[in-house]
């Protein structure tokens, strides 16, 4: 049976010592979010994830969701678990207190998302999408819609979805055909079919709020002619009670490779009544509020799955007896040594550990910036944080999900044949992780966003929010003897990132194919350097703590492990940037020179 224990020690280290989460308590509205309170909240989150959600993960995968005449039933135990989750206030953790939320920093919600996704990613889809819907309505809807729907989304009584994809179009939303016809009373009649709608129908909540992209009768063609509509499963009466069933019906659910306890629905809108969110023909700007949050949340799904895969791989490597160590017997009282003595097993485990902990630090740095963007009193600070978040969204989404899948696969490799069967649960992590690289914009789309939109925006304005802090750090620490063995390879890698950035930008300006062909390699190179930067910061703190404690103390082993993991990252993982840089410099010709008919 698989295991899971929330990695609170590492999370608190990143929050309190690396990203400086304590300063959030000084922002307007966050006065109660002290480190002590946040620690208490995370400990409670760990309990519900370990004791309520994780025990349902394997059974939920085996049972899946069932569909019957438009109704979807979630697996056994999910409804009760959702009730516990909702009553605990977890659905409204960072929602506005004016609508019944707890008003905690988004960074706290970020961390809880990781824990939930480690414990039960399928379950996490339901409240996760609701939070995105909450934010889109809060930012773009009028007060009448906010007052009706936000309190119910915040307390989890109602859940939310986003309905973008149609049978004939996925990423190219300019092809959307769903129609919206005015009814004359501020409402609209929505007609069309949406596919791949996560949590489109289920039995967890009283009402489901669909945010639907559709076209008004006079809308221009393409992406500029899309509007966003709020379409409830049940019409809400003036007194707030639920009225008649709306014409928004689940036609079927998908039979999927993974996340089987999350209902993925085909939704048919047959003249369903909806209300406009935001301005006519400006639906994409409103939907991007939800999409950008979803992309960050999907990155946390990748991180969560990587963490639980790593934990199980470590346990198996410690317990499984297989062969003898090449340097001599290590467990003389046993018929064989545990797997963990073997160099290749240790290589896999260290790769998993270095990526998981580095990605967590990077993600929480971005999560911290979300709160700076939202609450800081200095306009310049807010703008710089917004630029940093915008730059990092495609990196968090793509690299953390690639990492989640890669780490889960390494876990299977450590288990050997036992990893390929259901009993140990590792193969489920692989299957669940695979979708994260696809939905909310495939990782190739994220790479195109990075080089096509984020890189050139305002002549590199967004890029400076990463490049400048890194350059400042290197200048400040150039004489830090504790970092010398790591700083030199990092400086080399950072130089490769700078060279690749100039190459992609200049070549792409003359020929867009040049940027597009290099995009995936460039995003990975950027991400490896960004994670390396976080490892430098963690190594600096760990080294200083060991000096302060005289090399001893209760946490000495924790900080020593950090330093050893950092050394592994800089010697065994970061050098990948060299090959990626060579591939980027090769240009688009090797990719585009092949005639289509030759494939």
Domain ranges of the chain: 8-145, 160-285, 443-592
Of 566, 556, 116, the residue nearest 357 (C-alpha)? 566
pLDDT along the chain (599 residues), means of 10: 97 97 96 96 98 98 97 98 97 96 96 98 96 94 96 97 90 86 93 97 98 94 92 96 97 98 98 96 84 92 98 98 94 95 98 98 98 96 97 98 98 97 96 97 96 95 97 96 96 98 95 97 98 98 86 80 98 98 97 95
Can you give the three-state secondary structure of 32-68, one letter per residue?
CCCHHHHHHHHHHHHHHHHHHHHHHHHHHHHHCCEEE
The pLDDT, as a whole number, for residue 223 is 84
CATH 1.10.540.10 fits 8-145, yes or no: yes
Residue 294 structure tokens:
């979803």
The pLDDT, as a whole number, for residue 450 is 98
| 8-145 and 160-285 share one fold | no
Of 581, 436, 455, 586, the residue nearest 522 (C-alpha)? 581
Tallying the residues shown for the chain, one arrives at 599
Sign of CA dihedral 577, 581, 584, 590: negative
Cα(307)–Cα(353) distance, integer angstroms: 8
Active site residue 440: yes
Alpha carbon 315 to its chain centroid, in Å, reads 25
Element housing 422 (H / E): none
SS3 110: helix
- Within 8 A by CB and 6+ apart from 455, the residues are 462, 463, 501, 504, 505, 515
Of 160, 404, 368, 390, the residue nearest 292 (C-alpha)? 390
Residue with tokens 């700076």: 372
pTM: 0.97
Topology of the domain covering 160-285: Butyryl-CoA Dehydrogenase, subunit A; domain 2 (2.40.110)
Cα(278)–Cα(570) distance, integer angstroms: 47
Residue pair 92/109 in contact by the 8 Å Cβ criterion = no
Cα(540)–Cα(334) distance, integer angstroms: 40
The pLDDT, as a whole number, for residue 174 is 74
SS3 73: strand
- Within 8 A by CB and 6+ apart from 378, the residues are none
DSSP 362-402: HHHHHHHHHHHHHH-S-HHHHHHHHHHHHHHHHHHHHHHHH
Residue pair 250/67 in contact by the 8 Å Cβ criterion = yes
Residue 284 structure tokens:
């994409």
First to last CA, the chain: 45
- Within 8 A by CB and 6+ apart from 262, the residues are 65, 121, 122, 123, 125, 126, 198, 199
Cα(18)–Cα(535) distance, integer angstroms: 10
Catalytic pick from 293, 384, 440, 514?
Answer: 440
Residue 161 structure tokens:
């979805």
**Cβ-count burial 542-558 (b if 16+ within 10 Å, e if not):** bbebbeeeeeeeeeeee
In the beta sheet, which residues pair with residue 321? 338
Cα(509)–Cα(516) distance, integer angstroms: 11
Cα(254)–Cα(435) distance, integer angstroms: 13
- Within 8 A by CB and 6+ apart from 576, the residues are 524, 525, 528
């Amino acid at each position: 049976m698989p295991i899971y224990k929330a990695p609170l020690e590492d999370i608190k280290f990143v929050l309190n010592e690396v990203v400086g989460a304590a300063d959030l308590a000084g922002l307007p509205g966050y006065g109660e979010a002290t480190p002590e309170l946040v620690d208490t909240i995370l400990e409670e989150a760990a309990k519900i994830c370990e004791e309520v959600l994780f025990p349902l993960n394997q059974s939920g995968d085996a049972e899946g969701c069932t569909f019957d005449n438009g109704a979807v039933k979630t697996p056994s135990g999910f409804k009760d678990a959702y009730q516990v989750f909702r009553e605990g206030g977890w659905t409204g953790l960072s929602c506005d207190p004016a609508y019944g939320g707890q008003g905690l920093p988004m960074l706290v919600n970020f961390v809880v998302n990781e824990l939930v996704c480690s414990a039960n990613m399928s379950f996490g889809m339901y409240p996760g999408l609701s939070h995105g819907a909450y934010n889109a309505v809060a930012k773009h809807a009028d007060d009448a819609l906010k007052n009706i729907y936000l309190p119910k989304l915040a307390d989890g009584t109602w859940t939310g979805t986003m309905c973008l994809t149609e049978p004939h179009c996925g990423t190219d939303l300019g092809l959307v055909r769903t129609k919206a016809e005015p009814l004359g009373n501020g409402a609209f009649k929505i007609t069309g079919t949406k596919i791949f709608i996560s949590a489109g129908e289920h039995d967890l909540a009283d009402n489901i709020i669909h945010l639907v992209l559709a076209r008004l009768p006079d809308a221009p063609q393409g992406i500029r002619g899309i509007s966003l509509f709020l379409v409830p499963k049940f019409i809400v009466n003036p007194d707030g009670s639920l009225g008649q069933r709306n014409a928004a019906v689940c036609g079927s659910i998908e039979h999927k490779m993974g996340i089987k306890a999350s209902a993925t629905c085909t939704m048919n809108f047959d003249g369903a009544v909806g209300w406009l969110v935001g301005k006519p023909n400006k639906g994409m700007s409103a939907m991007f509020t939800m999409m950008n949050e979803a992309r960050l949340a999907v990155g946390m799904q990748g991180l969560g799955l990587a963490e639980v895969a790593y934990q199980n791989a470590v346990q198996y490597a410690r317990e499984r007896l297989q062969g003898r160590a090449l340097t001599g017997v290590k467990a003389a009282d046993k018929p064989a040594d545990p797997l963990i003595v073997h160099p290749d097993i240790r290589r896999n485990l260290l790769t998993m550990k270095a990526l998981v902990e580095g990605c967590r630090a990077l993600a929480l740095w971005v999560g911290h910036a979300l709160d700076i963007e939202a609450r800081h009193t200095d306009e310049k600070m807010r703008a710089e944080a917004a630029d940093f978040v915008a730059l990092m969204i495609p990196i968090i989404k793509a690299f953390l999900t690639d990492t989640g899948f890669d780490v889960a696969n390494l876990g299977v490799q450590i288990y050997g044949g036992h990893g390929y069967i259901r009993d140990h649960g590792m193969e489920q992590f692989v299957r669940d992780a695979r979708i994260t690289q696809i939905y909310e914009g495939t990782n190739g789309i994220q790479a195109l966003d990075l080089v096509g939109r984020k890189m050139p925006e305002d002549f590199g304005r967004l890029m400076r929010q990463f490049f400048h802090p890194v350059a400042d750090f290197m200048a400040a620490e150039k004489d830090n003897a504790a970092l010398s063995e790591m700083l030199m390879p990092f400086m080399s890698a950072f130089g490769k990132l700078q060279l690749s950035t100039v190459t992609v930008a200049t070549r792409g300006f003359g020929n867009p194919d040049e940027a597009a062909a290099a995009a995936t390699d460039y995003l990975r190179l950027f991400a490896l350097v960004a994670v390396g930067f976080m490892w430098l910061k963690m190594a600096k703190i760990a080294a200083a703590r060991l000096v302060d404690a005289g090399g001893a103390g209760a946490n000495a082993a924790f900080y020593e492990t950090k330093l050893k993991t950092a050394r592994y990252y800089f010697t065994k993982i970061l050098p990948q940037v060299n090959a990626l840089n060579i591939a980027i410099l090769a240009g688009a010709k090797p990719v585009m020179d092949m005639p289509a008919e030759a494939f």
